[in-house]
Structure 1
Amino acid sequence: MSGVQRREEILVAARTVFAERGYSASTDEVARAAGVSQPYVVRLFGTKRELFLEAYTVASAQIIAALTAVPAGPDAALRMGDAYIGLLADRDLLRMVMHGFIAGADEEVGRVARHTLGEAFRLFQERSGQDEQAARVFVAQGMLINVLLAVDAPAHVGEDAGLDALVQCVQDDIAERATA
């Protein structure tokens, strides 16, 4: 396996480990998940912070790429929503993004997080032609969906009436989008 392939493999393992354990995960845990030694991970990425930052940057770029791929037009708003919802099937991606917001106190991680939110907002306006209010709702709805999935809310329906109603509203919005 080439060094580039091994690096990619470690980043995949890092996404999974950081998604599960957050920034508290160690480079040793990432190394075990990737089937390599911890010194090898450190040699390739430096510190745990740099490994986290790169894994987070890759995850954020995946979101931006999905939104960027939607061409401008009258159905762009719907298609951008669908593109984002499609990304959420990767539970590690959404949880990695959430941990990045938590770790955003780190200036570089925070910069990536802010850029991702800003780009989602800007791309929605640019592609859909809709106003700032619609773009704000798009970003807010995406974050709400992300949070609900990160806490596995759909699997816990019946535990809390308020959460049940919120999950139902979001599911209704998604179903409405699917039939539009």
Structure 2
Amino acid sequence: MVTSTEPAARMTGAQRRDQILAAARRVFAQGGVGASTDDVARAAGVSQPYVVRLFGTKRALLVETYRQACQEILAAMSAVPAGPQADKQMALAYTLLLDDRDLLRLVVLGFNGGVDPEVSALARTTLGETFRLFRERTGADPDAARTFVAQGMLINVLLGVDALEHTGEDPSLDALVQCVLAGTGEAA
């Protein structure tokens, strides 16, 4: 048996916090707001009292998890430079976010006005900023920016209800999926 003489590296407080937020993203995305701090703690491999000590309440953990997700989306949109290809680059940046289904499912929670007032405010801000960034980066008119945001929201909904995993069950839904996702590389 070989043993290491070096102690296992301990996580910093910031690393542990990030670990808990990553677990919270998965747990809230999959279980909704009914998920508990105990569920998050188990997913993160820490104790529930530790989660509460870091975040205070489940609500505070949810809000911080949601804030982080919104910041990630806006960072992806903000990274696109203004110019003639900005519309395609913003669509690509958004498409790359589609790989993280938990991110998208979590963000959809914010569009239910009854979840939490602060989460709803973050959702509104993210929608508005995405609209503004698209117009600013592309020079597009309000209708084109609205279409970009609306297309993104429809993609979120389709992915959130696992439409791709239920292909063949409803021809009308299949047609919608093909129509919406045709240019994203997501369509089957």
Same fold, TM-score > 0.5, yes or no:
yes
Q: Which amino acid aligns with 2:81?
A: P
Rounded to whole Å, the distance in 1 between the matches of 2:21 and 2:120 is 19
Q: Which string of whole-angstrom CA distances, capped at 9 and with x for unpartnered residues, describes residues 85-105 of structure 1?
A: 100100111111112222655
SS at match of 2:111: helix
Rounded to whole Å, the distance in 1 between the matches of 2:63 and 2:114 is 10
Rounded to whole Å, the distance in 2 between the matches of 1:103 and 1:34 is 28
Rounded to whole Å, the distance in 1 between the matches of 2:42 and 2:181 is 37
The alpha carbon displacement at 1:32 in A equals 0.5
Rounded to whole Å, the distance in 1 between the matches of 2:40 and 2:184 is 35
Partner of 1:45: 55
Q: Do residues 113 (structure 1) and 123 (structure 2) align?
A: yes
Q: Do residues 147 (structure 1) and 157 (structure 2) align?
A: yes
Partner of 1:160: 170
Unaligned 5+ runs, structure 2 = 1-10
Change (3 A) 1:21 1:105: closer
Q: Is the 8 A contact 1:104 1:113 kept in 2?
A: no
Unaligned 5+ runs, structure 1 = 176-180
Compare relative contact order (CA 8 Å, sep 6+) and give the higher one, 1 or 2. 1
Q: Which amino acid aligns with 2:64?
A: E
Q: Which amino acid aligns with 2:14?
A: V
Partner of 2:65: 55
The percent identity for this pair of structures is: 65
Partner of 2:4: none
Partner of 2:41: 31
The alpha carbon displacement at 1:106 in A equals 1.9
Deviates more, 1:19-28 or 1:100-109: 100-109
Rounded to whole Å, the distance in 1 between the matches of 2:145 and 2:20 is 35
The alpha carbon displacement at 1:154 in A equals 1.2
Deviates more, 1:119-128 or 1:166-175: 166-175
Residue 27 of structure 2, aligned match among 3, 17, 34: 17
Larger Rg: 2
Task: Report the TM-score, using the length of structure 2 for normalisation.
Answer: 0.90
Deviates more, 1:105-114 or 1:5-14: 105-114
Q: Which string of whole-angstrom CA distances, capped at 9 and with x for unpartnered residues, describes residues 91-149 of structure 1?
A: 11111111222265522111100000000000000000000000000000000111111
The alpha carbon displacement at 1:152 in A equals 1.0
Task: Report the TM-score, using the length of structure 1 for normalisation.
Answer: 0.94
Rounded to whole Å, the distance in 2 between the matches of 1:174 and 1:92 is 18
SS at match of 1:142: helix
Rounded to whole Å, the distance in 2 between the matches of 1:10 and 1:164 is 37
Q: Is the 8 A contact 2:74 2:129 kept in 1?
A: yes
**How many aligned residue pairs are there?**
175
